[in-house]
Amino acid sequence: MTVRFQTRAFLVCFVPFVLLLTAGFWMIQRLVQSTVRDGVRTSLRENQLAIARLHSKSDLQNSRFLKVVGENAALKDGMQLLVAESRSDAARRTVEDQLRELGQHMGFDFMLVSAPDGTPLAGVVRQPHHGAGAAGELVPIDIATLQPHTHGLLIIAGRTLQLASVSIDQDEESIGSLSVGAFFDFSEFTTPAVLIHNGAVINSNIPAIPLSEIDAALHNCAPQSECNLQLRGANWISLPMQSDSFGPGYHLRSLENADAAFAPVQSVLHHLFLAVALGSVLVAFLCSLISAQSIVKPIAGIVSQLRNTAHTGVLPEFEANHSSILEIRELVENYNRAAVAVREARDTLHDAYVEFVGSLASALDARDPYTAGHSIRVSELSSATAAAMQLDHEHVERVRVGALLHDIGKIGVADAVLQKTGRLTDEEFALVKQHPIIGRRILEGVGGLAPFLDAVELHHENWDGSGYPKGQAAEQTPIDARIIHVADAYDAMTTDRSYRRGLTHDRAIEILHEYSAIQFDPRIVYLFTQLPRSILASQRPSAEAEAQPESVPATQVEFEAWEAV
């Protein structure tokens, strides 16, 4: 019980602290996560602004550059010829050669000339690279596959181009337009990004993740809104890039792995939290343990002493408690007051009970003037013998009270038998032999008299097993009954009866020795006979009687002297 209470006291102190610490760490982690996510968003926006500025500057430079290219006289002549003879393969090849030369010289990946109405006339596009470091050549484009397109993004053979256009004028009259382009390069983006055309992801710079998987993750994201998504089990943030340079149906989204951004901070937090948590838990553990001990230790002392009460039946009184806990001090003080009150009540009840027993014994002895005071004398002799045997005080007291009650069963025996002046018949003696059993039945209905039942029932059992009512031998009979048996016989032999005079002290002692180890416990007989003569003489009701006539046999003395008392 003490361990369980100590555990509960410890847990009451320790668990709330651990829960509070855990909740605090969780809140801090969530706050840091939120701060990191805000930082990621800010970083994405700043990166997008930087890219937008670069695009604006690039668009301006391209515009100026295109104007210079558009003033190329050879190109103008070729375009005029091609517009005039749009079906001429020679004119188209001439323009394509001019475009190829300009593109190779200026580094364009795509060049296209269109009629004033936007119809493509001739164009070249750079082939894919072949081998490391080898630049692809510009080759003619099948213009039949092209739709009028002058700016923004254009997809050709699965490759994305970003276009810019300029009008070609001759004598202030437009003869068509020139469009140039470069492959859309994600390397200029310092953060992951995806290109979306008509709601489908068509390009990405996120390594090792298929476009279909990215497309599925972005499926629920509104085109022009920020959104959070799950990609390969990680949390990502996506922001749309606001730009008009991509053309209709195209938009660009930048992404950032929030978990990856948070991972370094999380690692530092975990190490920090672990160190703080271990230190805090250790401190909390020690504090909780000390607190639990301060509560449990004084209570454990009280419980331990109360456990002994179950064996002794006496409530202990505790020493003044100096616990720092007010409630425990008050508990000890109130318990001590209650213990004193219970002990005083117990002592009062015991005194009343002893007086009752004494009165009961006196009332029993008063039935016969020859046996008056017999129970009290046997009680005093028995308690003196028990003390000589060095029994403890409580045992001596039990023997004394048991001796007072030893003949209580004679209440159930008729006066005609008890007060008969002659020898008892066998039938009368059989009635007398019932008094131990009757005495037990009288007393066993009273719980407080239970310790004396054996003394009342078995005080006529003999050492050799010839006694009654159970025929017990030697130490089968409780020591209380064996002590009372000797004291009872001595008092019966040394007191006068209606049918004989009492024996002298010396003669009674001789008979006790004679029947030692037959009727009486030898050790008890020895100690009884060693009692001071003053103790034995003080219990005798009359002066020394004359010795019994020599003609009286010992067996008759035995019968008349103590068995029929």
502 backbone dihedrals φ, ψ, rounded to 5°: -70, 150
Residue with tokens 């002994």: 308
Omega of the bond leading into 223 within 30 degrees of 0 (cis): no
- Identify whether residues 390 and 512 lie together within a single domain: yes
Beta partners for residue 255, in sequence order: 238
Altogether, the residues listed in the chain come to a count of 565
Distance in angstroms (rounded) separating the CA atoms of residues 518 and 349: 40
pLDDT for 495: 85
Percent residues over pLDDT 90 in the chain? 12
Contact present, 520 and 373 (Cβ < 8 Å): no
pLDDT for 533: 78
Average pLDDT over the chain, rounded to whole?
76
What residues contact 167, with CB distance under 8 A and at least 6 apart? 70, 174, 176, 177
pLDDT for 562: 46
pLDDT for 313: 57
Contact present, 44 and 191 (Cβ < 8 Å): yes
- Proportion of the chain in helix, strand, coil states, percent, rounded to 5: 60, 15, 30
Residue with tokens 């989204």: 253
Distance in angstroms (rounded) separating the CA atoms of residues 224 and 210: 23
- Identify whether residues 433 and 534 lie together within a single domain: yes
pLDDT tens for residues 341-370?
Answer: 777 777 777 677 667 766 776 676 666 655
User: Phi/psi zone of residue 234: left (φ > 0), alpha (ψ -120 to 50 degrees), beta?
Assistant: beta
Look at residue 93 and tell me if it is in a domain. no
Confidence bin at 482 (pLDDT 50/70/90): very high
pLDDT for 245: 60
Confidence bin at 543 (pLDDT 50/70/90): very low
DSSP at 119: -
What residues contact 440, with CB distance under 8 A and at least 6 apart? 409, 453, 456, 457
Contact present, 258 and 236 (Cβ < 8 Å): yes
Identify which has the larger pLDDT, 82 or 48. Answer: 82
Distance in angstroms (rounded) separating the CA atoms of residues 496 and 369: 10
Q: How many CB atoms lie within 10 A of CB 550?
A: 6
**Least trusted range by pLDDT, from 17-26, 119-128, 539-548, 550-559:** 550-559
On the question of pLDDT at 545 being above 60, the answer is no
Domain extent at residue 320: 315-365
pLDDT tens for residues 497-541?
Answer: 766 788 988 899 999 999 999 999 999 999 998 888 777 765 555
pLDDT for 565: 43
Give the domain CATH number at 470. 1.10.3210.10
Question: How is residue 539 written in tokens?
Answer: 């219990």
pLDDT for 1: 46
Look at residue 186 and tell me if it is in a domain. no
Distance in angstroms (rounded) separating the CA atoms of residues 154 and 279: 62
- Give the orientation angle of helix 505-514 with respect to helix 479-494, to 10 degrees: 140
On the question of pLDDT at 492 being above 70, the answer is yes
Which of 328, 350, 365 is the last residue in one of the domains? 365
Strands 200-204 and 152-156: unpaired
478 backbone dihedrals φ, ψ, rounded to 5°: -55, 150
Confidence bin at 561 (pLDDT 50/70/90): very low
- Identify whether residues 467 and 523 lie together within a single domain: yes
Closest CA to 102 of 149, 66, 57, 152: 66
Fill in the amino acid letter for 550. E
- Identify whether residues 319 and 437 lie together within a single domain: no
DSSP, collapsed to helix, strand or coil, labels residue 110 as: strand
Q: Identify the sign of the CA torsion 46, 47, 48, 51.
A: positive
Look at residue 263 and tell me if it is in a domain. no
- Identify whether residues 450 and 421 lie together within a single domain: yes
pLDDT for 341: 77
pLDDT for 392: 92
On the question of pLDDT at 558 being above 60, the answer is no
pLDDT for 552: 40
- Identify whether residues 347 and 376 lie together within a single domain: no
pLDDT for 225: 80
pLDDT tens for residues 158-175?
Answer: 788 888 888 888 777 888
Contact present, 211 and 108 (Cβ < 8 Å): no
Contact present, 227 and 238 (Cβ < 8 Å): yes
Residue with tokens 């159970």: 470
Question: How is residue 134 written in tokens?
Answer: 């080898």
Look at residue 296 and tell me if it is in a domain. no
pLDDT tens for residues 436-475?
Answer: 988 888 888 776 788 888 999 899 999 999 899 999 999 9
Can you say how many angstroms the Cα of residue 42 is from the centroid of all Cα atoms in its chain?
45
On the question of pLDDT at 48 being above 70, the answer is no
Which of 365, 400, 432 is the last residue in one of the domains? 365
Q: How many CB atoms lie within 10 A of CB 503?
A: 25
On the question of pLDDT at 47 being above 80, the answer is no
Question: How is residue 226 written in tokens?
Answer: 């920020």
Look at residue 424 and tell me if it is in a domain. yes
On the question of pLDDT at 376 being above 70, the answer is yes
- Identify whether residues 452 and 351 lie together within a single domain: no
On the question of pLDDT at 427 being above 50, the answer is yes
Percent residues over pLDDT 70 in the chain? 68
- Give the orientation angle of helix 258-312 with respect to helix 2-70, to 10 degrees: 180
Look at residue 255 and tell me if it is in a domain. no
Confidence bin at 426 (pLDDT 50/70/90): confident
Closest CA to 401 of 425, 439, 372, 375: 375
- Identify whether residues 556 and 415 lie together within a single domain: yes
Confidence bin at 549 (pLDDT 50/70/90): very low
pLDDT for 314: 60
pLDDT for 507: 92
pLDDT for 512: 93
Distance in angstroms (rounded) separating the CA atoms of residues 229 and 257: 10
DSSP, collapsed to helix, strand or coil, labels residue 488 as: helix
Domain count, the chain: 2
H or E element that contains 169: strand 159-170
pLDDT tens for residues 392-408?
Answer: 999 999 999 898 888 88
152 backbone dihedrals φ, ψ, rounded to 5°: 85, -150
- Identify whether residues 382 and 358 lie together within a single domain: no
- Identify whether residues 479 and 528 lie together within a single domain: yes
Question: How is residue 254 written in tokens?
Answer: 């930048």
- Identify whether residues 325 and 382 lie together within a single domain: no
Give the mean model confidence (pLDDT) for residues 24-51. 68
Look at residue 75 and tell me if it is in a domain. no
User: C-alpha distances in angstroms, 551 versus 548, 554, 555?
Assistant: 8, 9, 11
- Identify whether residues 419 and 557 lie together within a single domain: yes
Q: What is the pTM of this model?
A: 0.45
pLDDT tens for residues 253-306?
Answer: 888 877 777 677 667 766 777 777 777 777 767 766 666 666 666 666 666 666
Give the mean model confidence (pLDDT) for residues 328-346. 73
Look at residue 82 and tell me if it is in a domain. no
